[in-house]
């Protein structure tokens, strides 16, 4: 008996989504809410490196970033000096942008200061209104590049010393971490992510 192959999954029509690595990221990570400080810190740093580039570029280099930045150990990054900066500038496995590398050091220092009196997760979720926003966009062109929530989050992070956290970068961060659900309603991940978002327990400040 000939088996009928399963219907192809419908995904958000991102440029490059046919790449297996990108498709797996879309299907397992993007839009899933969580409250893990370490993961959120790593995502903040990676999003800051993504500014002006495609996320697929960062995704392909993510393991290299993890190795170069000591698995995003904030204490180690915060102590980076000139020799570390030059080491990273010579590392072809990451994005060699001096301003972004120095920004990562500043953001690590800001993160450690914030952690003295609370958690990054609680601060982030509080700034965006206390819970996920489940959008129902039908077309990719309807998804905004920036929102009032991302502007507010950007301002709050900048005031605490974080760098390369502009409103557009922060909206991409919010989408990736499930603070908003911007999977299109036709995408196979919209419903599952919405279920996770409705059940998500927002961390208290």
Q: Let me know if 47 is a catalytic residue.
A: yes
Within 13 Å, how many C-alpha atoms sit on residue 55's CB side? 20
Within 13 Å, how many C-alpha atoms sit on residue 114's CB side? 25
Q: Let me know if 30 is a catalytic residue.
A: no
SS3 72: helix
Q: Which of 55, 111, 125, 171 is catalytic?
A: 55
Q: Let me know if 25 is a catalytic residue.
A: yes
Q: Which of 42, 47, 111, 127 is catalytic?
A: 47
Q: Which of 22, 25, 30, 125 is catalytic?
A: 25
> Cβ neighbours of residue 4 under 8 Å, at least 6 residues apart?
none
Distance CA 205, CA 118 (A): 7
* Residues labelled catalytic: 25, 47, 55
């Amino acid at each position: 008996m000939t088996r009928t192959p399963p219907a192809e999954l419908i995904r958000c029509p991102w440029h490059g989504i046919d790449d297996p690595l990108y498709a797996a990221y879309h299907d397992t990570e993007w839009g899933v809410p969580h409250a893990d400080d370490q993961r959120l810190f790593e995502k903040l740093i990676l999003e800051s490196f993504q500014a002006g580039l495609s996320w697929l570029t960062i995704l392909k280099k993510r393991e290299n970033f993890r190795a170069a930045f000591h698995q995003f150990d904030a204490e180690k990054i915060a102590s980076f000096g000139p020799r570390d900066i030059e080491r990273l500038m010579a590392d072809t496995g990451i994005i060699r942008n001096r301003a972004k590398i120095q920004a990562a050091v500043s953001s690590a220092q800001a993160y450690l200061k914030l952690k003295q009196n609370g958690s990054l997760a609680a601060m982030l979720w509080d700034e965006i209104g206390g819970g996920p926003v489940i959008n129902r966009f039908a077309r990719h062109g309807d998804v905004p590049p920036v929102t009032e929530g991302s502007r507010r989050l950007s301002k709050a992070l900048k005031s605490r010393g974080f760098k390369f956290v502009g409103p557009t970068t922060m909206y991409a961060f919010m989408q990736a971490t499930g603070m908003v659900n911007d999977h299109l309603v036709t995408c196979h991940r919209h419903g599952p992510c919405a279920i996770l978002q409705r059940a998500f327990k927002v961390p208290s400040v």
